[in-house]
Structure 1
Amino acid sequence: MTDAATLLERRNRALGAGAPLFYEHPLHIVRGEGAWLYDAEGRRYVDMYNNVPCVGHGNPRVAEAMARQQATLNVHSRYLHEGVVTFCERLAALHGDQIESVIISCSGTEANEVALRMARFATGQAGIVCTNATYHGNSELVGSMNRLGQNPSQNPHARAIPFPETFRPLIPGASRAELCEAYLKALSDAIADLKASGAGLAAFIVCSIFANEGLPDVPDGFMARATEMVHAAGGLVIADEVQAGYGRTGHWWGYEVMGFTPDIVVTGKPMGNGLPLAATAASRALVETFRAQTRYFNTFASSPLQAAVGMAVLDEIEGRDLRANVASVGTALKTALAQRKGASAAIGDVRGHGLFIGVEMVDPADKAPDLELAKRIINRLKDKGFLTSNAGAYNNVVKIRPPLVFSHDDAAAFLVAWDETIAELAA
């Protein structure tokens, strides 16, 4: 078998040097099962990062559905197929009455692009509001919002507002209620600026749980009141549920946890457990307005294969009651990590929902973000057999986001490795 160094050299030639890889010493992964991954030497790692295989690596039900459908029929979307219709009906029904119809695509980037264009067609306006540390994809339109706060000129029709948080608040020492008002004021100012520029307001787009911002503790009521403000200004609210949805929080959707009702919902990664599958869901009126003004189709989307696999994933989540597992294991793990804050001054905060937890690493002297410590932790955890990553507005948050089948035993083993890692790095 090819050694890792040789494979890396071949990869750089075949893919071009610079294609991202995790860890100081990249892993050569060859197999997965449940919440576990195995490298070329047979070593097992607990996967605590990948939300793509949400019902587990190598899931038998998903694999069987994929093979059966591919062996039977897989065509583009311009034929009638009952499986596709049934899947879209089932997906829409997981939301409230405001969600009726679905546009299927292959990636979160595509689904967010459709959502933004849908909002613009519906409102007749161009302006978009996002946060200053967001990520919604890689196309020219969607990618122009990524880290917009660092380069406001990259999208003249978008405005970035400070993401709502209490750990590094907009007004130090303010109460939660005062912070809510301050962040709403920032949203109001952004909307007013868009209107003054002539762009108007088409949409406010957010990850429902602000995942890429570092899973901040959001002041109570912010999202519900922000939704009201956007609607009053004539705009729509887009919930990017690519990371927040599909049971990740212990609920079907992150917007349920955050207490707001979006107009458009975007889903992606976990929908196909590894098969490219994404969706933009909204009212029938919004979807049909979009369809009437575009010739949008996707050769590989709304396919029988996507529908079969998508149904199998939903069957697994519901049949195995994985949302309950997420709530149980996630609560226990977050509680245990929060208890460790007192034992290490380098742990600034522990935040998250369900099986999506962030541990913010800081300089004990001044609570400044400690990116290098976060990197050292994730590399040391990797060496101990636990795969995490770093994320957040400052990339100093240890990101814990395992498949939904992650167990209490997996969590207990991780905590042992975590304690060892913190002790070793503090020595």
Structure 2
Amino acid sequence: MTSNAHLLERRRRLLGGAYRLFYTEPVHLVSGSGVWLRDSDGKTYLDAYNNVASVGHCHPLVVEALATQAATLNTHTRYLHEAVLLYAERLLELMPDALGNVMFTCTGSEANDLALRAAKVFTGGTGIIITKHAYHGVTELTAGLSPSLGAGAPPAHDVYFVSAPDPLHDGNADGTLFASNVRAALERMRADGVTPCALLVDTIFSSDGIQPFPRGALRLAADEMRAAGGVFIADEVQAGVGRTGTHMWGFARHGVVPDLVTMGKPLGDGHPIGAVAARPAIFDMFGDKARYFNTFGGNPVSARVGLAVLDVIRDEGLLENAATVGAAMEQAVRFLQSREACIADVRAAGLYLGAEIVDTATGAPDAVRAAAIVNAMRADGVLISNSGPAGNVLKIRPPLCFSLHNVDRLASCLESSIAMSA
């Protein structure tokens, strides 16, 4: 079998320098099932990170749906096919009534790009508000709205930044500060002669350090943007598809109905699917003024896979599982917090959890120790990552089929890894 060192050399030579790998010692994975992954040496890993395989790696019903449709027909949306309509109906049934149309893409990046194109046509504006450490994609436009990518992705034209809600550090528990920050950004737009277009927000603020609270923040901020003539776009790639346990979509936790909703990888359990749901008036105007076509967006195979994922979430009770197991996961990490001074805060919603790691002497963000914990857990067979502006927030986001037994393994590994990192 090819050695990992040889694979690394080939990867650098063939793929270039822009790609990144997880962990100090990269993992060479060869198979997966449910919440488990296996590497080339036969070692198993508990996956506590991937929302890509949302209902579990290689779920048999999803694989069957993909294989059956791929063996029958795969084309695009310029031919009639019932599967894409069935999938559109199922997605829209899960949305607020005001969102009556859906368009399909292959990725969340494309979904955000399409939503912003439609928003610009609908509002006539160009000014976009995002959070200071957001991630919204890798197209030229969305990379410019993704400051978490670093200096190599300069800000897009007419983009305005606001701080994400952060009750631990800003002391604001009711969301009013976030709305005030959006209002101030709109005032800067007006002073610059820029017409507002959209507030674009990842509804769990994942790249900003995982900030699921305060729950009213998005509703108040959306009201500010709409009052200025813009629209609110909820980016649900991170928080959506049952991730938060209490609701199918992150925006629903905040009691707000978006104008557009963007979705991505969790829709396909590893198969590339993206989508944009919208108020019909937005897509009607966009359709009158622009053409849209995506060769693979909404193809029959993707539609059947998407339907299978929704079936699994419903039939296996994965929304309820995310709530129940997520609560146990939060409780376990909070128990560790009571014993480990390096955990300054635990923030969670369903099966999405962030644990903020700080220097025990100064209280300052400790990205070095956070990275050491992540790598120690990888060595012990549990995969997580890190997030946040300072890179010091442990990011725990397992597949929706995570179990209480898996929580015990995660907590044990986290405890020992914290000890090793001291």
Give the TM-score taking structure 1 as reference length. 0.95
Corresponding letter in the other structure for 1:158: V
Q: Which residue of 1 aligns with 2:72?
A: 72
Q: Is the 8 A contact 1:132 1:147 kept in 2?
A: yes
Question: In the TM superposition, what whole-angstrom CA distance separates every residue of 1:179-206 from its partner, at most 9, and x where no partner exists?
Answer: x443322211111111222221111010
Describe the shift of the 1:243–1:150 C-alpha distance in structure 2 as closer, same or farther (beyond 3 A). Answer: closer
Q: How many residues align?
A: 420
Structure 2: how far apart are the matches of 1:13 and 1:350? Answer: 41
Among all aligned residue pairs of Structure 1 and Structure 2, give the percentage whose two residues are the same amino acid: 42
Would you say 1:260 and 2:256 are equivalent positions? yes
SS at match of 1:244: coil
Would you say 1:239 and 2:234 are equivalent positions? yes
Corresponding letter in the other structure for 2:118: M
Q: Which residue of 2 aligns with 1:167?
A: 168
Does 77-86 or 221-230 show the bigger shift? 221-230
Structure 2: how far apart are the matches of 1:260 and 1:238? Answer: 11
Question: In the TM superposition, what whole-angstrom CA distance separates every residue of 1:117-148 from its partner, at most 9, and x where no partner exists?
Answer: 11111111111111111110011111112228
SS at match of 1:24: coil
Q: Is the 8 A contact 2:144 2:154 kept in 1?
A: no
**CA RMSD of superposed structures (Å):** 1.7
Question: In the TM superposition, what whole-angstrom CA distance separates every residue of 1:286-338 from its partner, at most 9, and x where no partner exists?
Answer: 11222222221111111111111110000000010101111011001101111
SS at match of 1:216: coil
Q: Is the 8 A contact 2:107 2:273 kept in 1?
A: yes
Does 128-137 or 211-220 show the bigger shift? 211-220
Question: In the TM superposition, what whole-angstrom CA distance separates every residue of 1:253-294 from its partner, at most 9, and x where no partner exists?
Answer: 011122222110000011111111000101222112222222
Q: Is the 8 A contact 2:167 2:214 kept in 1?
A: yes
Aligned pairs (5 A) from 1:343-382: 343-382=339-378
Does 153-162 or 375-384 show the bigger shift? 153-162
Would you say 1:155 and 2:159 are equivalent positions? no
- 382, 387, 397: which is aligned to 2:383? 387
Question: In the TM superposition, what whole-angstrom CA distance separates every residue of 1:367-416 from its partner, at most 9, and x where no partner exists?
Answer: 21111001000000001100011111211111100110111111101111
Aligned pairs (5 A) from 1:274-353: 274-353=270-349
Structure 1: how far apart are the matches of 2:162 and 2:197? Answer: 16
Q: Which residue of 1 aligns with 2:141?
A: 141
Q: Which residue of 1 aligns with 2:200?
A: 205
Q: Is the 8 A contact 2:145 2:156 kept in 1?
A: yes
Structure 2: how far apart are the matches of 1:56 and 1:395? Answer: 27
How many angstroms does 1:149 deviate by? 12
Aligned pairs (5 A) from 1:207-226: 207-216=202-211, 218-219=213-214, 221-226=216-221
Q: Which residue of 1 aligns with 2:180?
A: 185
Structure 2: how far apart are the matches of 1:148 and 1:335? Answer: 29
Q: Is the 8 A contact 1:93 1:100 kept in 2?
A: no
Would you say 1:399 and 2:395 are equivalent positions? yes
Q: Is the 8 A contact 2:54 2:266 kept in 1?
A: yes
Describe the shift of the 1:411–1:344 C-alpha distance in structure 2 as closer, same or farther (beyond 3 A). Answer: same
Structure 2: how far apart are the matches of 1:370 and 1:98? Answer: 44
Corresponding letter in the other structure for 2:220: R
- Structure 2 unmatched ranges of 5 or more: none
Q: Is the 8 A contact 1:381 1:387 kept in 2?
A: yes
SS at match of 1:64: helix
Describe the shift of the 1:317–1:184 C-alpha distance in structure 2 as closer, same or farther (beyond 3 A). Answer: same
Corresponding letter in the other structure for 1:162: S
How many angstroms does 1:159 deviate by? 0.3
Describe the shift of the 1:226–1:175 C-alpha distance in structure 2 as closer, same or farther (beyond 3 A). Answer: closer
